[in-house]
Amino acid sequence: MTDHVAPSPRVRGPLPAFFRLGTGGDRESLARLALCGLTVTLLAAIMAGLVIGPISLPVIEMLPQVLKHVLQGTVPADDPIAVRNWIVLTEIRMPRVILGALVGAALAVSGAVMQGLFRNPLADPGIIGISAGAGLGAASFIVFGGTVLAPVSVFLGPFALPIAAFTGALFCMLLLYRIGTRQGVTSVATLLLAGIALTALAAASIGLLVYVADNQQLRDINFWNLGSLAGANWDKVLGAGPIILFMLVAVPFLAHGLNALMLGEAAAGHMGIRVQRLKNLAIVAVAAATGAAVAVSGGIGFVGIVVPHLLRLTIGPDHRYLLPASALLGASLLILTDAASRTMVAPAELPIGILTAFAGAPFFLWILLRKRGLTGL
């Protein structure tokens, strides 16, 4: 458990405070300033994601042309270089940047919600087995997609793998919820322990699939589990985008309840918070958003731990500001990490999960040591 600051008594109603004007303390002023800075950072990251790559694009010069052609419903056809740049920008870079922003925001906000729900800064979307369930669904389809699941593969086409991963995440969430709920009350401790068990079971199942997979299937499973946005396209954006956007819009309305929950379930109940309803909404939102994100990007770890905890150290634990700040920083982080992954070993590409693990694992250890008081901080 970590020390938390009690929610401000000025919080009233479900409307997130960052939509309202008014003066606050120094921490609130810092949080609002941080939101403005993170918005600028996200815009800069989007521009960098569009520019950086094997082909350097004059994005600022191209944007007016892109807007004109989009409005007219045409494509440039007079200059081969312009046609090439148009295709790279609109069919490769733009969907990749948008998908990266959506996935990064979903993972970071899911981590912030899980940390608030479990009242532990080490909580992560993967802690309750959702990511592992998505990985099992994807691995199952990779191995059996050409045999047992061939009719499904033909029917769903390019959507088959994301849908398989999302189905695995959804099934894992429903099973977990069934285990953790008794007589209409969900136990957070039971969810945590059951999530650890389901994660281990999913990992063992993936290991069995790896054992029976051929060489190409083995490479596909390993590459997918490491996480990448290399296959980003508009279909994936349209498939995962609505689910993630709905979660990003809905979750800030849980901020008041999450703030109250920091004092404990009993105290939150006395403050008028419907604790069980809050748990249900939080778990479903995190499961849906994480499942959709993992389905289109593979396994990308540590974003849900690093981003919320870093912001909590900076702007405080108030979820009214922590949740939108996590969305902005998570989106920026993943866009920039993706830009680095496709340029560090160009023309090849590093999986994003490798970079996030190299950065996130030491940070995770630092959090753990800091909680034990061994760093002197």
pLDDT 10s digit of each residue in the chain, 377 long?
444 444 444 444 444 444 443 344 577 888 899 999 999 999 999 998 988 877 777 777 676 766 666 666 666 666 676 777 778 888 888 999 999 999 999 999 999 998 888 887 777 777 777 888 888 888 888 888 878 888 887 887 777 878 888 888 888 888 887 887 777 676 777 877 888 888 899 889 989 998 988 888 888 888 778 888 888 888 889 888 888 999 999 999 999 999 998 888 888 888 888 888 898 888 888 888 888 888 888 888 889 888 998 898 889 889 999 999 999 999 999 999 999 888 887 777 888 888 888 887 787 787 777 766 654 44
CA distances 224 to 28, 76, 103, 195, Å, are: 40, 35, 15, 22
CA distances 325 to 36, 210, 224, Å, are: 9, 38, 28
- Tell me which DSSP letter residue 149 carries: T
Give pTM, 2 decimals.
Answer: 0.82
Which residue segments constitute the domains of the chain, with CATH numbers given?
17-372 (1.10.3470.10)
Per-residue HEC secondary structure of 165-217 comes to HHHHHHHHHHHHHHHHEECCEECHHHHHHHHHHHHHHHHHHHHHHHHHCCHHH
